[in-house]
Structure 1
């Protein structure tokens, strides 16, 4: 399927695609999850149609971590690149945008959370869809004893200052065939790792240091039937916990379950539900 728009070079060797309609003063930055790159997530291509009547255009970022690059990257690196795009879009060369909202899918939700906690003053808000825990998701497919052994070996490398070392194939096999460093494995797979924002077993004290520290409006759009969320997770209860640990000034009242949705929101009715949540959130800004 072809799409019309502009391919922006927002930094050396970095690209972002803006869908038509383009160059509006209010802009959403779409951030994909693990394995995603430009145009790989089908519903992303529909967002522009939904928000343009409200005066918003849509830009999808491609980062060093896109496609198979995520195993060698980090949230810190991602948000540096997102910040480069934000600065570009604010500049005359990028259209002098007046309002920017981040919209993350899956691990893009971790990027959105991480960005709001570190550079929140540079944007107007954030949306997190499919914010599943990678730690809980990946561990479901591995024998508990094996998972513990793999974690211990990766952590030992990080503790010795060898976090950049690429782990053997037995690790990549679990991570969708992606080469992965000891650091990124520990970030995704260990309790308290840098990527561990959305696990259901996190204590309120931990959540208050993440959700509770966000100082810009944000919305959680959690897929009702997300196949990457283990069955033991009570989704409505988890959403309530996140809300109770957040500042009510910034936690959007439009947050909630996307009815009927799987992780990538492939169902037409579920997409309509998600798009309605997004429109309501934007109208409240």
Structure 2
């Protein structure tokens, strides 16, 4: 283990930089040299990196007087790398981090609690971690020399702003933009999907092709991040809801059977020891107005606990007035509720 003390860019908070692997790092928010037995591992969304999710600083401050520390994980797909990433690689890296944390803390404290928390697309990572086979299936193109990673159990899991990338893009297409009408947006989108399906890989089907930045930039993605045809098709999932892609976990039109294959597999996999906390933002800018948020999370709860188990945390809720990342100027009360829910949930985890 290689550990370095430094100060985080997030609010100047002190902590320790951990090298999980030579290329995977995580920042542990600490108060000086204080060590604590329990760990919350935080994973951001598309484009996020160290300190980019503002409300994390609120959680760190709230956990200061407790026995929990926060590890901010920087995945290989963080910042601008999300467009070339995939959930399978993400959960391998989360598994390495969980193992590292336990190896790092157990000699001093014994077995502490470990909870994983995802914001936005980080929620897809969390769900994928606890619901897919263990080890995960190999990718036919990128995992030819891959060594399977067996994911360790986690005591708890939190999903904040678990939104549908597909429905977000469809809303942009339906509304159009200042530059493009809905009709033009639909034409651009349809062509991008057709091209991505025809030319997903190149060089003997071993290398990703990339959707032109001029296309992804016009349908809502930042022009600074290249997006592979493979990840683009996973995010927009053009054959959903009948045949959803890997990233399409949270769309409101998915069938009960699909939810049984995702949320309903959590108990089967045995990777979540206690409960899942879901915090949906009541005023999420990424969610179309036709989505009934309360009804949607009720469907998730029903699918998860269909066999009589109780993996759904009673702390779960739609936070009134909360924006996607709770970063707007009017988010003081939603952030207070979020912190209250997270800390209450973590207290329950300690009680078992």
Partner SS state of residue 102, structure 1: strand
- SS at the partner of 1:249? coil
C-alpha distance in 2, partners of 1:256/1:46? 19
Superposition TM-score, scaled by structure 2 size: 0.76
Partner in structure 1 of residue 228 of structure 2: 181
8 A contact 2:58–2:339 mirrored in 1 = no
Name 1:275's counterpart in structure 2.
339
Whole-Å separation in 1 of the counterparts to 2:229 and 2:323: 30
Residue number in structure 2 paired with 1:221 = 279
Q: Equivalent residue for 2:78?
A: 66
1:37 maps to 2:49: yes
Partner of 2:161: 130
Corresponding position: 1:242 with 2:289: no
Find the aligned partners of 2:340 and 2:195 in 1 and give their Cα distance. Answer: 45
SS in 2 for 1:101: strand
1:122 shift after superposition? 2.1
Quote the Cα distance in structure 2 between the aligned partners of 1:213 and 1:196.
16
Aligned twin of 2:147: none
Partner Cα distance (2:155, 2:116) in 1: 8
Q: Given the alignment of the two structures, is residue 18 of structure 1 paired with residue 28 of structure 2, yes or no? A: yes
* Residues 1-59 of structure 1, C-alpha deviations (whole Å, 9 max, x = no match): 31101111111022111112453111000000011000011111221222344421111
Q: Answer whether contact 2:284 2:323 (CA < 8 A) is retained.
A: yes
CA shift at 1:144, angstroms? 3.0
SS of alignment partner, residue 88 of structure 2: helix
- Provide the alpha-carbon RMSD of the alignment: 2.0
Name the counterpart of 1:202. Answer: 254
Q: 1:51 to 1:2 in 2, by over 3 A?
A: closer
Distance 2:98 2:163 in 1: 25
* Distance in 2, Cα, partners of 1:77 & 1:97: 26
For 2:297 and 2:156, locate their aligned partners in 1 and report how far apart those are by CA, in whole Å: 19
> Which residue is equivalent to 1:263?
324
Q: 1:93 to 1:270 in 2, by over 3 A?
A: closer
Q: What secondary structure is seen at the aligned counterpart in 1 of 2:227?
A: coil
Corresponding residue for 2:141?
none
Unaligned 5+ segments in structure 2 are 1-10, 135-150, 174-184
More helix by share: 1
Farther off after superposition, 132-141 or 181-190 = 132-141
Given that 1:4 and 1:20 are in contact with CA atoms closer than 8 Å, whether structure 2 keeps it comes out as yes
Secondary structure of the residue aligned to 2:116 is strand
Which residue is equivalent to 2:348?
Answer: 284
Q: Are 2:95 and 2:152, in contact at CA under 8 Å, matched by a contact in 1?
A: no
- Asked whether the equivalents of residues 110 and 195 of structure 1 are also in contact (C-alpha less than 8 Å), the reply is yes
Bigger Rg, which one: 2
Q: Could you say what secondary structure the match of 1:91 adopts?
A: helix
- 151 and 162 in structure 1: CA distance in 2 versus 1, 3 angstrom threshold: farther
Aligned residue number for residue 12 of structure 2: 2
Structure 1 pair 162/188, CA: closer, same or farther in 2 (3 Å)? farther
Q: Return the alpha-carbon distance in structure 2 between the equivalents of residues 152 and 112 of structure 1.
A: 30
Higher mean displacement: 192-201 or 12-21:
12-21
Aligned residues: 285
Listed as ranges, the matches of 1:136-175 within 5 Å are: 136-142=167-173, 143-158=185-200, 161=205, 164-173=208-217, 174=219, 175=221
Q: What displacement does 1:171 show?
A: 3.5
Normalized against structure 1, the TM-score is what? 0.93
Unaligned 5+ runs, structure 1: none
Counterpart CA distance in 2 for 1:136 and 1:163 is 28
* Contact 2:115/2:155, CA 8 A, preserved across alignment: yes
